[in-house]
Structure 1
Amino acid sequence: MRRIAIIVVVIAVIGLGLFWYNRPKPTPVVLKEVAAGKVEATLANTRAGTVEACQRTKLSTIIGGRIEYLGVKEGDRVKKGQLLLKLWNDDQQAQAALSQAQVVLAGKRVEEVCIAAVNAEKEAKRQSELREKGFVSSSREEAARTDAEVRRASCNTAKADVAQAEAKFRATRVEQGRVALYAPFDGTVAKIVGELGEYSTPSPPGVPTPPAIDLIDDSCLYVKAPMDEVDAPKIKAGQTVRITLDALPGKQIPGKVRRVAPYVSAVEKQARTVDIEVDFDQPEATGKLLVGYSADVEIILAGRDQVLRIPTAAIQEGGRVLVFNADSGKLEERQIKAGLANWEYTEVLDGLSAGDRIVTSLEKEGVKAEAKVTPDDKAKAK
């Protein structure tokens, strides 16, 4: 009997050891203490926005031709009215010279015929005086008056010829403007398509031909960003915005909504969006920005300071959170009433108290109500 008792005790000890070794171990979870802080209701862009120039123009000549003069290179600063590019136009210049000569010739013709008209009018007046005294016949007087009228008409015709020649000369000058590009504002040459001696092709409407010169005014910049159409009714001009740039990591730049597009953009295979334009509050403090930088905007709809808040990622479907009970080492499910929220924090109006610890590592297997857990101090330290 004693031997049997010893065997039973050994078996029991082994069984208890196996049970203890194979018992379910508490799941390590990341806990976050409920505390007071600032919570804001915000909206974020659906895709990356872009830093744009307030003025940007893509210039092309009205007609095509060989580039004869290229006075700038990419990156050059230019002034308003500066000649940037000109095509070969010797034929137009020759035509302009001919038109200018015709203007001079027409002016000389005016001098000639108008002097003759004045003399004919004087002669007609003299013949009229002689006719009154009976020295000449009425037919002689009539002939002199007719000659004066004809010569005055010739003078008027010559003056019209001058006006016509001047108009033709102006037309040739306008024609020369079709082959030249001038800077419409102060700016920087971003891109040039074409080299000296190459043929430049204009960009007619509807034809995706690259422009000859891309000119930007980088002294005034703004951000253009797409917002989800669902959020569009909440966005208004003047709202405060936080701007972040990939080129300036960790830096938040304040701004304000300048414009909300009055229509929805439908991009293939993507959600419908509404474009907004955002101005920088202090452009001089942002430093040197480049047109084309990717940018994200976060529109602040409302905000509250020193309110009870929890990480938004800790909230499960239906407004439920898992609270850690230190006494039992288990998780308790708690229903909360949420207030303002964004992607980072959510305001808690009811259901939690300051000091409660909630689970944020919901992705771990076995994390559910009544589960035995243990705080993951390593994750907390990180």
Structure 2
Amino acid sequence: MRISRILVVLLVIAGVGWFIWQRQHPDAMAVSVGKVTRGTVEATVANTRAGTVKACRRAKLSPSLGGQISALPFPKGTEVQSGDVLLRLWNKDLEANLKSTEEGVKASAKQRDATCLQSAEASRAADRAARLRQSGSITSEELDKTNTAAKVAAANCKAAEAQTTVSEAQLKAAQAQLERTILTAPFPGVVADINGELNEYVTPSPPGIQTLPVIDLIEPGCFLVSAPIDEVDAPKIKPGLPALITLDAWRGRDFPGTVTRVGSYVIDLEKQARTVEVELAFNNPDDLKALLVGYSADVDIILETRADVLRIPTEALLESHYVYVVDTDGKLEKRRIETGLGNWTLTEVTAGLEEGQQIVTTPGAEGVKEGITVKAKENGDE
């Protein structure tokens, strides 16, 4: 019995000792940490939704009247020049009408010439009659008839000239009607798409209903990025600001760009945040060689840059002005700091930290609090 009591006492003493030791030497919690470094920090504005790579010039063309496609001279992917015929509708009736109108103009011109010649002859006859009346060779009545005939002939000449003008206007109208059956390239480009085949019938879009364009023409080698920016950030953006463009097709690569245009109105779409459209150009011509219209893009517009400043990962901030600092004993200290410029990645520190100090980059993780002992794990370590 005595030995058993001694064993129980020893076990109790060992348990109390283990408990006290655990309280004094708790297990270190592994946390991800980063260092306070010195470098460049940029204040940036990013798009709220994915932007899009667009061509500088793109025309979605359709004829302004319905008809049957009779010619598609260029297939998809063909480069064309300004003025090249891209599509022609069946228009033999309009061509015949144009030919008839052209002949009508010629006939009107000849009729005008004949009528005006007669007017000139009547005018000369009136002059002769006036001289004869002065010599008494003809009566006043004969002179009046001659003058009246000259005036009538002059009026007929003017009427013939007016009819010629009308015929010429009808010719222009016939030409315009014929031109409506022909689509020409408004600028040099590439035929990106054709929605139609020979002998198919195409019609213009009815009011309020958008139909596919027959020809989609894109200017090659010139691209821009259009991105929606939140209305709150829009006043900060001005043309000429530098930016970094990222494309899903080239992950991990940044394309330098410049803001070229800021929208003049706020886009208000149902169930979406109000935004302003911003356009950016690529700075490096070599970056344009492999681009395609329609790529999704994100932009970071640089508003301000500060070089050689203390900085920390933005993810390390707690409640905007606090961080957890790992002290020399491996314990966490919650410290208030002052911050300056910042973005999604880095934030400038103006007071409260020194270069080289370690801070927790996951301050919101479960169990992370002031006073605990931690085992520092650099970001990226397993």
TM-score by length of 2: 0.91
CA drift of 1:225 comes to 0.6
Q: Aligned letter for 1:169?
A: L
Q: Which moved more, 1:21-30 or 1:97-106?
A: 21-30
Map of 1:125 onto structure 2? 127
State the identity as a percent. Answer: 46
In the other structure, the counterpart of 1:364 is 365
Matched, 1:64 2:29: no
**In 2, distance between residues paired with 1:119 and 1:263?**
70
Deviations for 1:190-220, whole angstroms, at most 9, x for unmatched residues? 2222111111111355321222222222333
Distance change >3 Å, CA 107–CA 180, structure 1 → 2: same
Within the candidate set 286, 289, 297, 1:287 is matched to: 289
Matching of residue 350 in structure 1 with residue 351 in structure 2: yes
* Amino acid of the structure 1 residue aligned with 2:334: E
Which residue among 23, 34, 38 is the counterpart of 1:32? 34
- 1:153 corresponding residue in structure 2: 155
With 156-165 and 13-22 compared, the bigger mean Cα shift is at 13-22
* Residues 50 and 143 of structure 1, relative CA distance in 2, 3 Å threshold: same
Letter of the structure 1 residue corresponding to residue 62 of structure 2: S
Letter in 1 for 2:256: P
| Deviation of 1:298 (Å) | 0.6
Distance 1:252 1:84 in 2: 38
Q: Structure 1: which amino acid aligns with 2:267?
A: S
Q: Residues of 2 paired with 1:37 and 1:140: CA distance?
A: 110
Q: CA RMSD in A?
A: 2.5
Q: How does 1:180-191 map to 2 (within 5 A)?
A: 180-191=182-193
Tell me how far 1:46 sits from its aligned partner.
0.9
Alpha-carbon distance change, 254 to 272 in structure 1, aligned in 2, over 3 angstroms: same
Structure 1 letter corresponding to 2:122 = A
1:245 aligns with 2:247: yes
**Aligned to 2:341, what secondary structure does the other structure show?**
strand
State the 1:78 CA deviation: 1.5
Q: Which residue, 89, 112, 126 being the options, matches 2:114?
A: 112
Distance 1:265 1:120, change over 3 A: closer
Query: Of 182, 197, 218, which residue of structure 1 is paired with 2:199?
Result: 197
Q: Tell me, yes or no, if the aligned pair for 1:78 and 1:186 is still in contact at 8 Å.
A: yes
Deviation at 1:321, TM superposition (A): 0.9
List alignment gaps of at least 5 residues for structure 2: none
CA 1:33 to 1:199, structure 2 compared with 1: closer, same or farther past 3 Å?
Answer: same
Q: Residues 361 and 127 of structure 1: is their aligned pair in 2 closer, same or farther, counting only changes over 3 Å?
A: closer
Alignment-mate amino acid for residue 3 of structure 1: I
Give the aligned length.
Answer: 380
Report Cα offsets for 1:7-48 as digits up to 9, x if no partner.
246525863797579985321111212221211111111111
TM-superposition CA deviations, 1:230-251 (whole Å, max 9, x none): 2122212221111111122222
Q: Against the structure 1 CA distance between its residues 332 and 167, is the aligned structure 2 distance closer, same or farther, given a 3 Å change threshold? A: same
Q: Is the 8 A contact 1:253 1:286 kept in 2?
A: no
Cα offset, 1:335, TM superposition: 0.9
- The SS at the match of 1:164 is helix
Indicate the residue corresponding to 2:381 in structure 1: 381
Quick one: distance in 2 between partners of 1:35 and 1:134? 122
Q: 1:124: how far off?
A: 2.9
Structure 2 CA distance for partners of 1:59 and 1:204, relative to 1, 3 Å: farther
